[in-house]
Amino acid sequence: MHIIRLLNVKVRRVCMQNNKKAIEKSSSIMKPNFAETDAQKVKQEIQNDVREGQGAMTSREAGAMRD
């Protein structure tokens, strides 16, 4: 019985460590520059594409992108 308790404690500890690592890894996407893209540049490119008639964007979506 004592061995089972020790194994349960060990398993819980490993699970907690794995959860902590997963949380740390997933939180990195919330850091600035994670995707290394310039949001303003992407927005401008989309607006240019819309002006040229590229893409399937509604007028409502295009209007929402105006500054």
pLDDT at 67: 58
Altogether, the residues listed in the chain come to a count of: 67
- Tell me how far apart the alpha carbons of residues 12 and 6 are, in angstroms, rounded to a whole number: 10
- Tell me how far apart the alpha carbons of residues 2 and 4 are, in angstroms, rounded to a whole number: 5
Whole-model pTM over 0.75? no
pLDDT at 25: 66
Render pLDDT for 2-59 as a digit per residue (tens, 0 to 9): 677 777 777 788 878 777 777 666 666 666 666 677 778 888 888 888 788 776 667 7
Provide the 3-class DSSP secondary structure of residue 29.
helix
What does the domain layout of the chain look like in residue ranges? 1-31, 37-67
